[in-house]
Structure 1
Amino acid sequence: MRGSAQVQGKSKSTDEGRRSSSALRAPSPRERGEGRDIAIIGGGIIGICAAAFLAEAGLDVTVFDRTGICEETSSGNAAAFAFSDVLPLAHKGMIRQLPKWLADPLGPLSIPPAYLPKLLPWLIRFWRAGAPGKYEASLTAQAGMMKLAEAEWMDLLDRSGTRPMLREDGSLELYEGEAEFRASLSGWAARERFGIGFRHVEGKGLADLQPGLSPRFVKGTFVPGWKTVADPKLLGKAVWAYAQSKGARFEMARIDRIAADQDGPTLTLADGTSRQAGHIIIAAGAWSHLLARQLGDRIPLETERGYNTTLPTSAFDVRRQLIFSGHGFVITPLETGLRVGGAVELGGIERPPNFNRSKALLRKAREFLPGLDPSGGREWMGFRPSLPDSVPVVGKAARSRSVIYAFGHGHLGLTQAAATGRLIREFVLGQTSSVDLAPFSPQRF
């Protein structure tokens, strides 16, 4: 099973994990007051960036994950630094297209019928998040987070020596007709208010940006500030190596329970041992809400199950990330292959993958890029932890100021990871926050 399964699945251990098991000893009262020992649950990109920021500040950091560093959901995403993607999902025309999409079991959005009753409360919240009265607040919150994310990522890439992995080729969003293009204009106008640059293209301008497109695409929007990375898994492991150089440790373990009392927060591992720390950061992706519930916080997290196929680099000469918004997927040229993926399956964390969805995306890619070689692909499915208002949870648990939540970034985990790391460090050190944290509060639900 893929995803940040910190709270279920078989536990593993390594020599490195055993060596670091004493790193989070039961601290003295003085140490608890200073909060120098930090436990991070989750070795995905959010946990990795949090570890880097905290280790840079001289804190004693240990990351716990059941499989390894950047081995699950963060390893297979679309590799985008989507800093211009400020529109919450409920405002992207998804509500309007929902009936059409749900009618197609292999379309951009699907819900297994058996899962619908469990999902219904989340869908109601999602529908309410699309109300006009909530639009401005969500948009402003995301725009502020994205501005911080871009600044923090660029600085972190420089500090960690990973900037050569950055690609600044922009993105190209494609439309099959005038109606689809016109429907996108309100969203571009909203982005323009926040200083996001773009230009609409057609004809030769479109062909120059991406030769070989199907003639069904009549217009596009080029976003020059959109960035991608050479490979998200390689980037995550490189940032972790930097965190390690600053003293961060890793322990391969599954976390069964979390508790907090007057003596501070405590983790219980699958092997029955426990760890106590000055602060615990919950960044376990799609499993995070299960741990939060143990502390009394009921956070409506659902799982966008995303699918992709990574083809050999020779499959097609894709110049930059191509976004097929009407079909809910993207094509990204990576150092390690050509990744075709996206779409959303709201089906929880227990159901087996339905790789017919990745095959359907690949069939569409062949139609949209005539000449694409679909052979030799590697299929993948990952869990995107999503909240109904598309805004992540970054804040303290209701019952313990020593437990910090950092999850629910949906399909923007890679994009917002460095900003989240910065905010977590500010929480731990008691510093003034870089953004207004009210929209990200765990208690907003």
Structure 2
Amino acid sequence: MADETVQDIIVIGAGIIGINSALALQARGRQVLVLDRQAETARASEMNAGAFAFTDIVPLATPGIMRKAPKWLLDPLGPLSVPPAYALKIAPWMLRFWRASWPDRYQASMSAQAALMKLAQEALARQVSDTGAASLIQAEGQLQLYEGEAEFRASLPGWELRKQHGIRFELLESPEAIAAIQPGLDRRFTHAAFTPDWTNTCDPARWLAHLTSVFLQRGGRIESADVSGLKPSEDSVQIDASDKAWMAKQVVVAAGAWSHHLAKTIGDRIPLETERGYNTTLPEGSFDLKTHLTFSGHGFVVTKINGGVRVGGAVELGGLTLPPNFKRADILLDKARRFLPALKTDGGKKWMGFRPSMPDSLPVIDRSPGDRRIVYAFGHGHLGLTQSAGTAELVANLVSDTQNPVDMAAFSARRF
């Protein structure tokens, strides 16, 4: 059944990118309807580490990373893994990932990421003021931790690149210097880098709920729909769902890890893959956490959520249909217990969710090559929360044919 009413603009997806985009379009005077599938479990927008990781400009595809690929297959519980059952299916994506790691592409991706991060940081400040969200922000910095001199020295080129992009940090070269910021760490962590401008939300679920509430209070609408495809016509774009169809003058696709399936229905083939993220959330009182902790060599973080602690991370490139492997959450929690000897690990709740990931670690923020009335905003990997406010401003500019403040070529849907 089709609803013959033509909506002004429809955003597909009520995650952090979709709701931010809806708010930005609403601020331009647009009448926005958001369509969202009923998720069976909490989405990545609600269960991530809560970090606005503006210093995280280094792409996952770094030069030489493909030499580690055989290890990914042999260690299913490592910080970056590909389940053997998924290896053949992901091979074309991995070839693009390998090409993105070449020095020319790597440097270009980092520059584009840095530009998006700068915009996102400025946009977040505007959003916090506009929506009255200051109470949901905790500005406590981040410690990136290293085990020994060799690991620390290997990280220095990355910090030099951050310095070139104006990112503030302090290098710490003793356990005592680290303990002055975060007591209670195992002394195996001899070196660290502290980024004072790093901020978190106290709870990403509350953050998303707050923004959703503001959107609704300002006249926005959200309806439940499991969207299956797009059908452009001369006068509008039809959005098909299981039991209904909607018509809209313009559409924003912000459906996270499912977005490329919708793009494919109008002939746009975009190499999106799924980072499956795992974490365990521990209750209040589990540990006196002073700052966000990043264990670089182990691919996970420990972060404060509602006074409790969330331990999670790593990257499992395993698609949308394989069953969760919660041993990954267990091994991260076991490491956290060893790295933070006073950590209480009772009462934890495990979770697995899907992060939409592009081979070059950059999102797609662009008009559809198939129909310019459709705008894409997806593929942020583990940086969706971080880049959401900035992405929303770019989306609103694309929808209204306004010049964007950053070079958009790096985020093109055509770049592959």
Q: Report the TM-score range of the alignment, normalised by the length of the smaller protein.
A: over 0.9
Q: Distance in 2 between matches of 1:318 and 1:92?
A: 34
Which of 40, 44, 48 is equivalent to 1:77? 48
Which residue does 2:402 correspond to in 1?
Answer: 431
Which residue does 1:249 correspond to in 2?
Answer: 221
Which of 170, 175, 188 is equivalent to 1:216? 188
Which residue does 2:308 correspond to in 1?
Answer: 337
Letter in 1 for 2:186: S
Q: CA deviation at 1:67?
A: 1.8
Which of 376, 391, 395 is equivalent to 2:362? 391
Q: Distance in 2 between matches of 1:96 and 1:171?
A: 29
Which of 201, 204, 208 is equivalent to 1:236? 208
Task: Please list every run of 5 or more consecutive structure 2 residues that lacks an aligned counterpart in the other structure.
Answer: none
Which residue does 1:264 correspond to in 2?
Answer: 236
Q: Distance in 1 between matches of 2:278 and 2:220?
A: 32
Is 406-415 or 68-77 further displaced after alignment? 68-77
Superposed, 1:30-45 pairs within 5 Å as 37-45=8-16
Superposed, 1:315-334 pairs within 5 Å as 315-334=286-305
- Contact 1:312–1:336 (CA<8 Å) still a contact in 2? yes
- Contact 1:56–1:243 (CA<8 Å) still a contact in 2? no
**Identical-residue share of aligned pairs (%):** 49
Superposed, 1:412-423 pairs within 5 Å as 412-423=383-394
Which residue does 1:63 correspond to in 2?
Answer: 34
Matching of residue 26 in structure 1 with residue 5 in structure 2: yes
User: Residues 166 and 139 (structure 1 numbering): CA distance in 2 closer, same or farther, change over 3 Å?
Assistant: same
User: Residues 92 and 250 (structure 1 numbering): CA distance in 2 closer, same or farther, change over 3 Å?
Assistant: farther
Q: Secondary structure at the match of 1:277?
A: strand
Number of equivalenced pairs: 415
- Contact 2:63–2:106 (CA<8 Å) still a contact in 1? no
Q: Distance in 1 between matches of 2:75 and 2:251?
A: 42
Which residue does 1:147 correspond to in 2?
Answer: 118
Q: Distance in 2 between matches of 1:278 and 1:198?
A: 46
Letter in 2 for 1:63: V
- Contact 2:73–2:83 (CA<8 Å) still a contact in 1? no
- Contact 1:63–1:250 (CA<8 Å) still a contact in 2? yes
Q: CA deviation at 1:407?
A: 0.3
- Contact 2:280–2:333 (CA<8 Å) still a contact in 1? yes
RMSD of aligned residue pairs (Cα, Å):
1.8
Q: CA deviation at 1:135?
A: 2.0
Q: Distance in 2 between matches of 1:71 and 1:313?
A: 20
User: Residues 100 and 117 (structure 1 numbering): CA distance in 2 closer, same or farther, change over 3 Å?
Assistant: closer
Matching of residue 308 in structure 1 with residue 279 in structure 2: yes
Q: Distance in 1 between matches of 2:34 and 2:41?
A: 12
Task: Please list every run of 5 or more consecutive structure 1 residues that lacks an aligned counterpart in the other structure.
Answer: 1-20, 28-35
Which residue does 1:355 correspond to in 2?
Answer: 326
Which residue does 1:4 correspond to in 2?
Answer: none
Letter in 1 for 2:404: S
Q: Distance in 1 between matches of 2:64 and 2:125?
A: 31
Q: CA deviation at 1:203?
A: 3.2
Superposed, 1:27-176 pairs within 5 Å as 27=6, 37-67=8-38, 71-91=42-62, 94-95=65-66, 97-176=68-147
Q: Distance in 2 between matches of 1:292 and 1:122?
A: 17
Q: Distance in 2 between matches of 1:143 and 1:53?
A: 22
Q: Deviations over 1:264-291 (max 9, x none)?
A: 21101111x2111111110000000000
Superposed, 1:171-190 pairs within 5 Å as 171-190=142-161
